Amino acid sequence: MTPFPHAWFDRPAPDVARDLIGSRLEVGPLAARVVETEAYTSDDPASHSFGGPRPRNRAMFGPAGLAYVYRSYGIHWCLNVVCRSGDAVLLRALEPLAGLEVMARRRGTEAPRALCSGPGKIGQAFGLDAAADGADILRFHPAPRGPVVTGPRIGITRATDRPWRFGSEGSAFLSRRFPGT
């Protein structure tokens, strides 16, 4: 099975965010199914890229398909995949498929549901840090996908009306329930 080529990501983030649901992500020896994403664009006040390129967000304006990793609240590392220039998709939750022992050791818990059910948890489970920012480490493989649910993005204070959070309906590995489910 061949992964999506980098050119596949060179599209608006909301489109990529929806299309990534259900796909298989491989990072080195670790693998997981994408069950929850969020889209951010350059004309989106909630996006780090809003206002143009800067030192921290430079990866968002770089080649599509590469990683954009940023520090959140001074504690966590959050993982995005870069799309069209200035756009990125935040990976919010994954269903672990391979390398669960490594993830469990890093997370300090055994429960599969607690390994990758949140942006910060993914960063910790995958051992991400500043070295991963702008790196070509992500491989997404096509996979069958069930129904996709949408809703408002989590944890932001601006542009809260954009329904750019996407999830795999009924998944037990989401970071939170979607409104109305």
Partner DNA sequence: GCACCGATTTGCT
Partner DNA sequence: GCAAATCGGTGCG
Query: What residues line the site for DNA (CB under 7 A)?
Result: 38, 40, 46-49, 51, 54-57, 60, 68, 70-76, 78, 80, 88, 90, 107, 114, 118-121, 153-158, 175
Q: How far is the CB of 128 from DNA (least distance, A)?
A: 12
> Which tokens go with 134?
């702008």
List the beta bridge partners of residue 79: 69
CA–CA dist 142, 163 (Å, integer): 24
Q: Which is nearer to DNA, 52 or 144 (CB)?
A: 52
Q: Which is nearer to DNA, 129 or 147 (CB)?
A: 129
- Amino acid symbol at 109: T
CA–CA dist 76, 16 (Å, integer): 24
CA–CA dist 95, 143 (Å, integer): 13
Q: Which is nearer to DNA, 114 or 137 (CB)?
A: 114
> For 138, which DSSP code?
-
Q: How far is the CB of 75 from DNA (least distance, A)?
A: 5
Q: How far is the CB of 125 from DNA (least distance, A)?
A: 10
Q: Which is nearer to DNA, 147 or 177 (CB)?
A: 177
Q: How far is the CB of 144 from DNA (least distance, A)?
A: 26
CA–CA dist 74, 97 (Å, integer): 29
How many residues appear in the chain? 181
